[in-house]
Structure 1
Amino acid sequence: MTAGRRPTAATAADVVVPLVLAALGVVGFATAFGGAGYLLAGLGGLVVGAGAGVLATRLRLSLLPAVLAGVLAYLVLGSALAMPDRALWSVLPTPETLAGLVLGAVWGWADVLTLRAPVEAPAYLTVVPYFAGWLVGLATALLATRWLPGRGTAARRAVLLVGPVLLLLAAVLLGTGESFLGPLRGVLFAALALAWLGWRRRDPAATDPAADAAGTRMLARSRMGGAAVLVAGAVTAGALAATALVPAQPDRVVVRDLVAPPFDPLDAPSPLAGFRAYTKDLAETTLFTVAGLREGERLRLAALDAYDGRLWNAAGPEDTAGAGGFALVGAELPEPALGEFAAETRALRVEVRAYDDVWLPSVAAPERLELDGAIADRGDDLRYDPASATAVLIGGVAEGDRYLLEVHEPVLPSDEELADVPVAAVPLAPVESVPDVLVARAEQYAGDEAAPIDRLRAIETGLRTDGFLSHGLASDAVASRAGHGADRMVDLFTRSQMVGDEEQYASAMALMARHLGYPARVVMGFAPEGGAEGAVVEVTGADVTAWVEVAFDGVGWVPFLPTPDDTDVPQEQAPRPAAEPQPQVRQPPRAEEREEDLLSTVEIDDTEDEEREDPLVVPAWAWIVAGVVGVPLLLLLGPLVVVALLKALRRRRRRRHPLGDRRAAGAWDEVADGYAELGYDVRRRATRRQIAHDLERQVREQAGADPRTDARGRPVASAGLSPIASDVDAAVFSGADIDDARVRALWAQADRHLDDARRASGRSRRLLSRYRIRSRRDWSRVAAGEHAPAVAPGRGASL
């Protein structure tokens, strides 16, 4: 189209036909987006982009101003088309919608791939089809009105199909395994594209005035017939070739199936590993408050379905055949695949106090989770796994954070109703290193029962009857070791009395059920005493608990409580030997001592005080020198001496800990604290390998071009921290006794790394490190001489 003139029929067709083809691609986003909002956004984007391109050509704008006019139209009209809920009066742009139009165009594609379809949040996600439609519409209009006129060959017109084809492909890749009218849209797309390419040929009448009207009509009929034959032949040939050459695919390959979720639960410490920290250190501390909790209702923290012989953890989709996994969600949460729930919902309000982990406590099957307070703008950090009904907030929560829950009440049948119900076929990660004694006890408890519910209840009853409850506190009758690794499971069943708490009994029953072939998992949470309806319940560390859930077909996850209530462990006492009478012996009379014999003579010097001479007389000039020189030295060296003493005590306590695995963990703690004191960024809540990777990255960034020297030519610290992190993990989680030779080797390796780091640092950093001490410990506990509180394996305590 010539600038400033009206478009011809041919140019209009060159604009409209590719837009219709692009609209077929926009419709394909139906599987990724719910509702009709995406359709309004995508089709509106096509109209806005094409309209801006045509108008810019009519106004004789050059290419750069035309593109800028298209961007302006994108921002002005995008709020009404893509984000009407956030726009002013559903039409006018606001700062939030303008930011969403920019963020959605850049980051929305990645968010769509990590969201569970159909996506609903964040609000800027509908910008994805709007931006795609706008870009295709603007490019099509500019090419059709500026570049194509006068060069209308089939090959050049095929360039205009690139945008619609990419849009059609994007709808497939961003969608799900199910297509939305895929065959019909594909046939329409191919038929319309082929007809358009075959129909648009140069008209002989335009170049030969002598051509008569009859010849023109005959040529038109020939074109139409040829195009129809071409389209029919292409569609038929394509269908036959696809049927013969391409095997049937059970599922479509889409990008979202190939993209790992942004949150991997294996990157976070297992919450069950820190069970004793709640019962010992936080027993009387209010972790959070819950309003709307019912009497006897349990709060879920995490569902753990993977066991590697050391820890129970939440498995990712790669361990469960693609099922499950934490994905980005909006306020509306997807429904669980298993279970029956009441139709009515009720609201709960959770306010965080001393709790600071990433796992969000919830109830039953939440239908909606809305962040409130200081974390209201952190919706992009919320992840949810409907398979385990578990939610996490990347980065964790802090005191004062709040969120609202709308939950369904689960409908659980009785044991009589479950008598003939088989367990469900749920993909779970395999368990490893199950002790033989636990397998034998599972067969003993299950006995001759046939129904799964009866066998599971028999195991539950056996553990509750034979076991005793102990959290390992000073007030408990007997000691109880923490942990739920394979060695702790052996210890639970081989000692004279079965003693433990919810951590051990839930782990044992879940492993027994998995051995019998039942899909079982361990659920950690809290069991507070609920008050009246709507009352606010304070949840403390003493309310922590764990239980087992087993999936039944068509019913859902049924809970089991294998922890005994009896805390009176019988004491094994040897009989006291009978007393034998002894012959009486006459005692000699006591010698009376006179009072004066107990006194000694003391001579008192009556010399007058003023007659005595003081041998230590300090001159005045010495006091002046001491004040001028000594006080600054004391201020400079005093803290240095104190910090050095504290570091020495810290190192001594770590190296002389009675447990070998704690001495091994102390070697890594010494490395992490040393690097932190040298100014490196060492994360608190991270595994040893994560910390090692972070420190290696920081060392490489400081090294510059030469990995052996920094910008000033000084040798850099050794970047090989991953091996020592792996060695310490292997020692801590091995479950075996760690000998002194292995501990000494780890400490020697740690000292070498610290020496390299100190040599690579400048004088100022080395000097400042002498005044720094990295501590997790409460100094009042240090003064009292208490040991460090128990921490979750993998975290490691440090001074």
Structure 2
Amino acid sequence: MRAATRPLAAATVDAVVIAVLVVLAAAAFGGAYGGTRWWVAAAGGALVGAGVAVLAARRRWPWWGTGLAVAAGYLLFGAALAVPASAIGGVLPGIESLRLLTVGVVSSWRQLLTVAVPVGTSGALMIPVYLTALVTAAVGTSIAVRARTARRAWWALVAPLTMLVVAALFGASSPWLPLLAGLGVALGGLAWASWRGRSAGGGLDLRRPVSALVVLAAAVVAGFVLGPQADVGPRFALREVVQPPFDPQQYPSPLAGFRKYFKDQRDADLFTITGLPAGARVRVAAMDDYDGVAYATSSALDPFRKVGDEISGQPPSSAARAATVQVSIEDYRGVFLPLGGSLTSLQFDPDGARSATLQDAFRYSPGNATGVVVGGLAAADGYRAQVLTTPMADQLDLSSTPIEPVTLPSPGKISDDIVAMAGRLTENATTPQEKIAAIRKGLADQGFLSHGTQGEEPSASGHGLDRLSALVGDQVMVGDQEQFAPTMALMLRAQGIPARVVMGFAPPTDDQGSPVLADGQTWTVRGGDATAWVEVPFQGVGWVAFDPTPDDQRIEQQPDPEPEVAPRAQVLQPPPPPQPPQEITTDEVNRSQNDQNDQDNQNDDASDSGAVVRTILLVTAWVGSALLVIGGPIALILWLKARRRRRRQEAAVVADRFAGGWDQIVDVATDLGYGAASGRTRTETAADLDATFGGSTVLLARRADARVFGPEELDDGQARQFWADVDAAVLGLSSGRSRWRRLRAALSLRSLRRSGRTGGRR
């Protein structure tokens, strides 16, 4: 027999109380999420769960019917409450939001534990708090409204207690939020149990409810005021024992610091390596993700995992050579590990002081053939590795070897100049192999190598889309590996060929290009050995290296100046002598009269021309007045935006220029229709921008935070480079929009009215 239910009014009170207690218990999540948006997910989930439970009780549905109703409510309201960025209009469920809600029942918990706090609210990260609030509120309300006695109804308090335990385990390790949340749940549950007992004619009866409220208020105040002053010790949280996966994009791109090797460390001993085959290069990082600002390493092919001594990867090809190398770190710094090839095993120097620490911090991605040490390398670190090296493309016959189809992150918009040049270089190529060779040869033959140091041709650093477009758009292509390798990779991507950029070091060679070092010889790697190349995957061979760098011996030839011709001296010729009066003839007198008539006619024509000019000026004045009325406001808007941009770029404090650059991105997005919420961090805003516009601004947001809040000294060059990357990101935001939409954005007043600033110098 189905349980009887309470009257609707009493059941509504029970549902509201249970929902409020569940939301109070959810406060323990606060240390993990940060911000306030997750409260909407918690409160919404609790109300949906409680409402479904009341409806199911009134309809006398069985437990499985209630479960189906809760599942339906989860999917119906979850789009707006838990994954609003993927919902239609931010409210209605769509295909993507339903996918996230379905998969997120399992995967979102792992994401919540492995993302660094505060995790924010992007993607499926709010599903755990929404789902837990929904289920606990539904279960607690069902028990409360279906219970026949007050004592059985008290079992409903298990629901908010369960919410408290889950929130404490998946929250941050700070003890105060769980303590305050538990205090609120305990006192609130006590008050509800007293009311429920009295309404049933028995049970717990607090004869002085006013005193209970005073005790509750005093306890809450004491918790907030005295709690932080006491030492209660650390609290257990699951995220303390769960090792988050290494996210390489939390660190700057290795290619972004390419020029420092030639300007600051050209002759510095970075590290020594012994055991490499002759001519083999040292790879630092493979980068396959380009956002228009920088090439970065991603986990698209293979995530970075913690590995043991033996490393399993893809089976070696017939062209690969095995080698055992020994590396000793000197002046090299960074998280990316210099390696001689694909790893099969690695062991840090057992005699080193940091051997155990390095081994615990080591992560490796076989698909990228890239290793990292979380926390970075230091002087005197060393390791021994067994590697597999693949020869360069010019040492292999790849004419009949097909390209391996791999999926890499989309580079977004590739500039028209790069696409056009790729088309010109490959117009006579018919196979992918011929296209690769044509693009490599075209860049190497037409380009000139310059690192922009003293005594070299001027060459700007960076590899943002604007810099690469300028490289191929100039009459003479001047740059170094930081520009030529990304340009070749983007040209190949434009031709549908998978390609990635690799940063590393190349061994010295003689004038004929032959290796100077023999097999296994010790090589002291210096900053001047830094280089970058492109890799393309071939079936059965693996990733093969192609180097588009121009010959470093070639120097741009300036055209010989045209010889100047000395001008001849100007000699003033004397006027002819006047004729005697007696020699003047009648014909000459007639000609003089005709000349006078012509002069009079010219004066008349001048008068007519003056009238025409006056008419033109009058028409221009009328038309100009109309244009001034229409174009004046337009010019004012454009001037205000230009002045705002100039003030940000020329701020007296260099850190303010980085903050202003990020504000410039948000203002452009605002004019394009993005609703920038105040009080959000730059990283949270960047995640919303990427979801809305399809670009990638997270790296810029992190760079802005690092420069604004970081301890290092900043200079004008860093600020100029950051603004160049900002311009490239702004171009990415506007790409794909119609000309009319871009014009509306340029004249929009939304950004001028925007008072908030995301992630400022607070």
TM bucket normalised to smaller: 0.3 to 0.5
TM-score by length of 1: 0.42
